[in-house]
Amino acid sequence: MRPDTIAEAVLAREDVARFIQGSHGLTSDAARTRVMTYLEELQTTQRYELYRALEYPLYPILRKIERVGEQQHYAVEAARKGRVVYASNHRSHIDYLVEPLVLDDAGIRPPIIAAGVNLFGGPLGLIHKHVTGALPIRRNSKDPAYLITLKAYVSELLHKHDLFYYPEGGRSYSGELKPAKTGLLNACLDARVAGLTLIPVAVAYDLVLEDHVIAKQRVKRAQKAFSREIAELVRYAVGYWSRAFVTFGKPISLAGIDAENKKTVMDLTRHVRQEIGKQYKVLPTAVLAASMKRSATRAELASRIDGVLETLRAADANMSVSTAAEVLEAATEPLVTRNIIVVEGGRYRVRERNVLRYYARSLSHLLSPPSSMH
């Protein structure tokens, strides 16, 4: 289905046709103009044969990240049976690059990625619009014309493509797994695609490339120009190396779920968030960060790490380490090199408190009582 035929299908939908007749204080002509403007913005082209070529212009950053896929068989099987919606946590701008490549590494057809509209300026915007087929999302728009058009477009798109989206919306600036939003999930349910399944996905990094930048803000206050964000990424890429774990969870059937039932949709949204949280890979840097106080000897820190590991095991977390010795061995050097902690005379001290807390909070959904998931 070409983008223009998706647009035709959108315009033929009852909810869109009703809106275009004039509503929400708009004349029919004004409503139609607004819908057509948004439709043009949403239209996107995926050129799969160029997909792998993306690695080369981005090689300076991607070569510093070792991709590790886990449980891809869930995605392989789901994609074989029918349409798939992937729902992932959102840590970094690198997510958009790493997660589709992990799917491609496993021979899984590429989904359309829902990305913030701010990512569509400049050269990367052209790549998103004409190669990866990313879908530009105006995350905080309250315009009914936009919300109706977006919902209809996603619903029609799902009949011919898989979709990859981030329920949290933007990246987590605090480090923790944020509450999930319902908008795109609603659109997926509204599509009524037979056999549609949702796969929870979690992405975790030893070190997040833009950690210093977003940890200082903690809460996103204003959207920076993406060109400025890219410049910051390049600056923090000096001396950077990390693993990126992309873990797929068991498929969740979306069949028969009523998009109009708000309680059902909210319950599903919480369930999806919970499943993403379970898949999240527990890495040494996060464990050390969650165990660290302002200053500690190696022995004191090891004792606290043991306590954190015990809590994580009880939560049935997706562990990459099992002992305090392993955590200290794997996490000390990266955090020191990243200028987040300093080790002098056998004593660990915090150098960048906000950044350390950012990593510690990435495990808060596993270390806190289950009620915090709601």
The tens digit of pLDDT for each residue in 89-113 reads 999 988 888 898 899 899 998 898 8
At 150-198, the pLDDT tens digits run 888 988 889 888 999 999 988 899 999 999 988 889 889 988 889 999 9
pLDDT for residue 58: 63
| Range with lowest mean pLDDT among 33-37, 228-232, 334-338, 340-344 | 228-232
Structure confidence at residue 124 (pLDDT) = 59
Q: According to the model, what pLDDT value does residue 260 have? A: 87
**pLDDT value at position 145?**
87
Strand partners, 318: 281
| Token reading at 366 | 């596993």
DSSP state of 174: S
Q: Is 337 a residue whose pLDDT tops 50?
A: yes
pLDDT at 256: 83
Of 246, 279, 312, the residue that ends a domain is 279
**Residue 192 to residue 3: CA distance in whole angstroms:** 20
Token pair of 81, please? 């049976």
pTM over 0.75: yes
In contact, 106 and 76? CB cutoff 8 Å: yes
pLDDT digits (tens, 9 = 90+) for 236-266: 677 789 999 999 999 999 988 888 899 999 9
How many residues in the chain? 374
Per-residue pLDDT, 250: 97
Do 348 and 209 sit in the same domain of this protein? no
pLDDT, average across residues 294-312: 96
pLDDT at 369 exceeding the cut of 60: no
What rounded mean pLDDT belongs to the chain?
86
Residue 324 and residue 265 share a domain: no
Strand runs labelled E in the chain = 65-70, 84-88, 112-116, 135-137, 163-165, 197-205, 242-248, 252-253, 281-282, 295-297, 318-319, 341-344, 347-350
Q: Is the domain of 245 the same as that of 294? A: no
* Integer Cα distance of 213 and 232 in angstroms: 8
Nearest-Å Rg of the Cα atoms of the chain is: 22
Mean pLDDT of 342-361: 95
Whether 251 and 320 share a structural domain: no
Q: Which of 26 and 373 is assigned the larger pLDDT?
A: 26
Is there a single domain that holds both residue 174 and residue 61?
A: yes
Q: What dihedral angle (degrees, nearest 10) is formed by the CA atoms of 268, 271, 273, 275?
A: -140
Q: What are phi and psi of 165, to 5 degrees?
A: -140, 170
**Stretch 12-38: mean pLDDT:** 84
pLDDT at 374: 37
pLDDT above 90 covers a percentage of the chain that reads 49
- What's the number of domains the chain is made of? 2
We report the CATH number of the domain holding residue 70 as 3.40.1130
Does residue 293 share a domain with residue 264? no
* 343 band by pLDDT with thresholds 50, 70 and 90: very high
Which of 279, 301, 320 is the last residue in one of the domains? 279
Find the mean pLDDT for residues 302-318: 97
Q: Tens of pLDDT along 68-93?
A: 999 999 999 999 999 999 999 999 98
Pair 288, 253 in one domain:
no
Here the CATH number for the domain that contains residue 357 is 1.10.10
Q: Which helix (H) or strand (E) holds 308?
A: helix 298-314
Residues 112 and 38 in one domain: yes
Do 51 and 148 lie in one domain? The reply is yes
Are 269 and 307 in a shared domain?
no
- Helix, strand, coil shares, percent, the chain, to 5: 50, 15, 35
Is residue 45 pLDDT above 80, yes or no? no
Provide the pLDDT for residue 57. Answer: 57
Residues 10 and 138 in one domain: yes
Of 67-71, 148-152, 227-231, 296-300, the range with the lowest mean pLDDT is 227-231
Looking at per-residue confidence, does 217 or 36 come out higher? 36
Do residues 107 and 76 touch, judged by C-beta distance below 8 A? Answer: yes
In which domain, by residue range, is 308 found? 282-373
- The reply to whether 40 and 180 lie within a common domain is yes
- Measure the CA–CA gap between 219 and 97, rounded to whole angstroms: 24
Cα(first)–Cα(last) distance of the chain, in Å?
Answer: 39
Whole-Å CA distances, 149 to 139, 298, 341? 14, 56, 48
- In this prediction, residue 222 carries a pLDDT of 53
